[in-house]
Structures are given as structure tokens and as C-alpha cells.
Amino acid sequence: MSVQAADHVAADALRPATAPVWDPLVRIFHWSLAIAFTVAWLSGEELRRVHLIAGYAIVGLVAFRLVWGVIGTTHARFSDFIYRPSTVVGYLIDAVRMRAKRYVGHNPAGGAMVIALLAMLSATCATGVMMTTDAFWGVEWVEAAHEIAVNVTLVLIGLHLAGVAAASVEHRENLVRAMFIGRKRAE
């Protein structure tokens, strides 16, 4: 065996094993939703047609994710990452202390965030669609509810990004990269 080949074999032996976690549909959903929400948020009142197209894309993406959460791959299923509130709180306390258990799929806080984001995006979409109907056109409480839902979603996105950064540091794992390639450290 050549020295170069031996170095390659040695490097492979040192590299930790990885496991598939995020299937292609989850990854496409995730990044498409991030783009669609950003476009919808930035277009707002100024670019109504763009805003509506992005909003309806979000409706379709959320509907897909709700179905995929039931019939999808192992780590995509809600049953894989919905935990009791006490488990989520315990995980968050451990995370603050930098002692949180590492999960291959969503950790308890991440699972709770998925549910919270889907709920708020559903509320945002519902009120957005309502605003396009004759029955609710110009109705102030619907517009206010839509704006509140968007603002709560923005706060959740900020918490999501902070949680991803914190977990990436704590577990020495690039979770953003994992959401692109679909694999995480297997351990």
C-alpha cells in the first residue's frame, strides 16, 4: 500500500461514523420554508403579489410537513420528537448548564420548537388567507392576529437559531451542515 493510500485509510479511521437523519424531503421543506417565510416577511405590504405567492407556498409546505410528520421517515415523524413538557424543561435546564444529552434526531427543545413553529405558521397562514376573502377583508382583528402571529414566529425563529448555535457548540457538531447533507455523527 502506498503512503498516500495509508494516510487516506488512517484519516477515514479517525473520522467519526455518521448516520442518516434528515431525509431529502425534510431538508427541502426546511430550506424552502426558510426562503418562503423570508420572502413573505420582506415583501409584506409593498409587494402584495409576491407576498401572496410566498404565503401560499408556506401553506403548501406546512400541509406537507404535517402529513410527513405522520408518514415520513423515522426522524421526520412527530412520534420521534414530541416529548413531555417536563422532559423539554429538563433538557433546557441541562442545556443552560452545558450538560444536555445529545440526540441523533431532534432533541426535546428542538421538537417543541418544530411544533411551536408549525402552530404559529398555521396561524399566520390562516389569518393571511382570511384577509384575502370578502368576509374578512379589512377586518382589523384578523389583520392584528396576522401581525401578532408573524411577530411570534420571528421570535421563535430567533430562539431556533440560538438553540441550533448552542447545541452545535455544546455537542461539537455543525447542525446547519447536517440540515444540508442529512447526516449527523452516529454516536
The CATH number of residue 80's host domain is 1.20.950.20
CA torsion angle for 117, 176, 184, 84 (degrees, to 10)? -20
When mean pLDDT is compared across 102-111, 150-159, 178-187, the lowest value belongs to 178-187
Q: What one-letter code names the amino acid at 182?
A: G
Residues 6+ apart with CB under 8 A from 166: 95
Domain that holds residue 27: 22-185
Residue 106 lies inside a defined structural domain of this protein? yes
The mean pLDDT of the chain is 93
Q: What percent of the chain has pLDDT over 90?
A: 86
CA torsion angle for 117, 21, 29, 82 (degrees, to 10)? -30
Is the distance from CB of 47 to CB of 156 less than 8 angstroms?
no
Residue 15 lies inside a defined structural domain of this protein? no
Q: Is the pLDDT of residue 125 over 90?
A: yes
Verdict on whether the full-model pTM lies above 0.85: yes
Average pLDDT over residues 150-175: 97
Is the distance from CB of 91 to CB of 108 less than 8 angstroms?
yes
Residue 28 lies inside a defined structural domain of this protein? yes
